[in-house]
């Protein structure tokens, strides 16, 4: 079980006064303080970890966010930023002495500029909401995490979210132009703008993916791209995970970069098919979803080449989507994969390590062995093109032992990822979940250096404390 820092007794003692102060800073309906109302905020997409916060505030403007941060800074109160609460790494897990600042009410689209190809949106606009706002004109916002329906752009920025299509289009960091950034002191700073590559230090790049350690983001200027003429997905099924992995290598090696290249193993295929009815091959041990873009003729040309490559690996079946609806169904299954596993197991832990793609067969084999060793089932679904794995470890949260085993299994998988040259997290963030594994990937001086950079932004360690860095070694924190 994860340990959280000891709450500051002086903050807990002043709870009522703090709530009263917050109520003066914000409209009445924006401050939540009663325990019953706070409870639904005790967790996020990683519901195994829970902690009721001191208070939740739901500001509507950057000024309100700034005034809450200024107040918390002046009073030594910890702050936990929250978007849609879909984090799979516990990025929005509260602390008992912290004020959760939820950005869900900041959901306005400020400006759309098709000529200069950007959109300015508030942090609480959902990822898909940006695309919805511009798709009528043929544009889209490229990063597409599986939770894109619900997750908010502010959270995407903080976690540097990826998605199935980032093999071609890049992750969040590669698709931003500017941020409205609020420091713990309550200073509002415009980072970047409507142009590419600001001169000077790359604050935009540093803040993106900083998991709320450096400040809060209230508005985001994203690049929007014109969509391709069309896109089509195909399925290729194989009778072993190793063979499917080899087919991935062959496709990339051929010089084709499909816009998406996704992998699912048998348990995952079954769970997703039950949800999406996409015609997934239920007899296969492993399946690839491969998507290409362009005109119909271009799609045909690329799919022909890919089919030719896959054919060398004796697929058990191959199927090209015949309509936009079929493509949509194929993606519905993939994007609902995590939740769909809820149909076959009451609970799961979703891992997010990345490995060099050449290590795929070895790593998948080891995960299979560990699954037997721990006696816990695992479903694998991941972004094969970039080696970003999402093993879903199934367990029963009503059984404490099962959960502890799942945690240990997860740690073993991530350690393996690091050992083969990969990393702990490809897109979900370290959060609270992988915090204590950071020592597997970084040396103590390396972690101290990162801590020092955080301290430059947040000297008192009030921002999303207890995430990213192992507690031991953090300044200003009593474990």
Tokens of 242: 């190793």
CB of 369: closest distance to other proteins in angstroms?
A: 22
**101/123 Cα distance (integer angstroms):** 12
Burial class from Cβ neighbours inside 10 Å (0-12, 13-18, 19+) for residue 472 reads exposed
Q: Strands across the sheet with 55-57, in order?
A: 31-32, 55-57, 98-102, 78-82
| Residue from 5, 33, 45, 267 binding other proteins (CB under 8 A) | 45
Question: Near other proteins by CB under 8 A, which window of 234-242, 296-304, 314-322, 471-479?
Answer: 296-304
Using the rule CB under 8 A, is 410 a contact of other proteins?
A: no
| Residue from 10, 20, 193, 373 binding other proteins (CB under 8 A) | 193
Q: Which residues of 95-117 are buried (b: 16+ CB within 10 A; e: fewer)?
A: bbbbbbbbbbebbeeeebeeeeb
Contacts (CB under 8 A) with other proteins, residues 335-364: 336-343, 346-348, 354-358
Contacts (CB under 8 A) with other proteins, residues 62-101: 84-86
Question: Near other proteins by CB under 8 A, which window of 1-9, 12-20, 308-316, 419-427?
Answer: 419-427
Question: What is the distance in angstroms between the CA of the first residue and the CA of the last residue of the chain?
Answer: 14
Using the rule CB under 8 A, is 315 a contact of other proteins?
A: no
Using the rule CB under 8 A, is 150 a contact of other proteins?
A: yes
Question: Near other proteins by CB under 8 A, which window of 7-15, 61-69, 373-381, 447-455?
Answer: 447-455
| Residue from 160, 327, 465, 474 binding other proteins (CB under 8 A) | 160
| Residue from 18, 237, 393, 430 binding other proteins (CB under 8 A) | 430
Q: Half-sphere exposure (CA, 13 Å, Cβ side) for 186?
A: 15
Task: Answer for the pair 90, 46: CB distance below 8 angstroms, yes or no.
Answer: yes
Task: Answer for the pair 458, 214: CB distance below 8 angstroms, yes or no.
Answer: yes
Contacts (CB under 8 A) with other proteins, residues 317-336: 336
Using the rule CB under 8 A, is 255 a contact of other proteins?
A: yes
Tokens of 386: 């970039």
**205/208 Cα distance (integer angstroms):** 5
CB of 237: closest distance to other proteins in angstroms?
A: 22
Question: Near other proteins by CB under 8 A, which window of 2-10, 113-121, 232-240, 312-320?
Answer: 113-121
- Find the helix packing angle between 324-335 and 266-276, rounded to 10°: 120
Using the rule CB under 8 A, is 421 a contact of other proteins?
A: yes
Q: Which is nearer to other proteins, 14 or 134 (CB)?
A: 134
Using the rule CB under 8 A, is 154 a contact of other proteins?
A: no
């Amino acid at each position: 079980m994860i340990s959280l820092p000891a709450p500051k007794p002086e903050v807990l003692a002043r709870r009522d006064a703090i709530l009263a102060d917050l109520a003066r800073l914000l409209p009445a309906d924006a401050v939540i303080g009663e325990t019953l109302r706070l409870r639904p905020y005790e967790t996020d997409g990683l519901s195994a970890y829970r902690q009721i916060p001191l208070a939740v505030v739901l500001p509507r403007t950057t000024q309100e966010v700034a005034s809450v941060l200024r107040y918390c800074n002046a009073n030594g109160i910890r702050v936990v930023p929250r978007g849609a609460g879909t984090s799979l790494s516990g990025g929005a897990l509260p602390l008992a002495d912290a004020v959760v600042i939820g950005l869900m009410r900041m959901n306005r689209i400020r400006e759309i500029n098709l000529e200069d190809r950007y959109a300015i949106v508030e942090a609480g606009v959902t990822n898909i909401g940006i695309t919805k706002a511009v798709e009528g004109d043929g544009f889209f916002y490229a990063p597409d995490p599986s939770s894109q329906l619900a997750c908010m752009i502010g959270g995407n920025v903080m976690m540097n979210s990826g998605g199935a299509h980032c093999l071609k289009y890049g992750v969040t960091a590669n698709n931003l132009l500017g941020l409205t950034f609020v420091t713990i002191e309550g200073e509002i700073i415009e980072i970047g703008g409507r142009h590419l590559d600001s001169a000077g230090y790359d604050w935009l790049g540093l803040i993106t993916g900083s998991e709320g350690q450096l400040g809060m983001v209230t508005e985001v200027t994203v690049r929007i791209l014109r969509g391709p003429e069309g896109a089509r997905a195909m399925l290729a099924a194989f009778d072993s995970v190793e063979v499917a992995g080899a087919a991935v290598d062959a496709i990339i090696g051929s010089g084709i970069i499909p816009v998406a290249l996704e992998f699912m193993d048998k348990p995952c295929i079954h769970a997703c098919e039950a949800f999406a009815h996409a015609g997934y091959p239920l007899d296969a041990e492993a399946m690839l979803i491969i998507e290409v873009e362009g005109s119909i003729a271009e799609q045909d040309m690329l799919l022909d080449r890919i089919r030719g490559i896959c054919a060398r690996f004796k697929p058990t079946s191959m199927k090209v989507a015949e309509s936009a609806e079929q493509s949509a169904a194929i993606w519905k299954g993939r994007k609902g994969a995590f939740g769909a596993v809820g149909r076959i197991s009451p609970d799961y832990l979703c891992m997010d390590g990345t490995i060099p793609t050449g290590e795929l067969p070895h790593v998948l084999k080891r995960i299979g062995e560990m699954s037997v060793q721990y006696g816990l089932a695992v479903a694998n679904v991941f972004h094969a093109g970039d080696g970003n794995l999402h093993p879903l470890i199934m367990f029963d949260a009503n059984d404490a032992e099962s959960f502890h085993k799942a945690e240990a299994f997860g740690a073993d998988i991530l350690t393996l990822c690091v050992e083969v040259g990969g990393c702990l997290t490809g897109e979900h963030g370290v959060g609270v979940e992988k915090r204590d594994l950071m020592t597997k990937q970084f040396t103590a001086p390396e972690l101290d250096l990162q801590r020092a950079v955080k301290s430059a932004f947040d000297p008192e360690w009030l921002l999303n404390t207890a995430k990213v860095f192992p507690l031991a070694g953090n300044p200003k924190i009593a474990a």
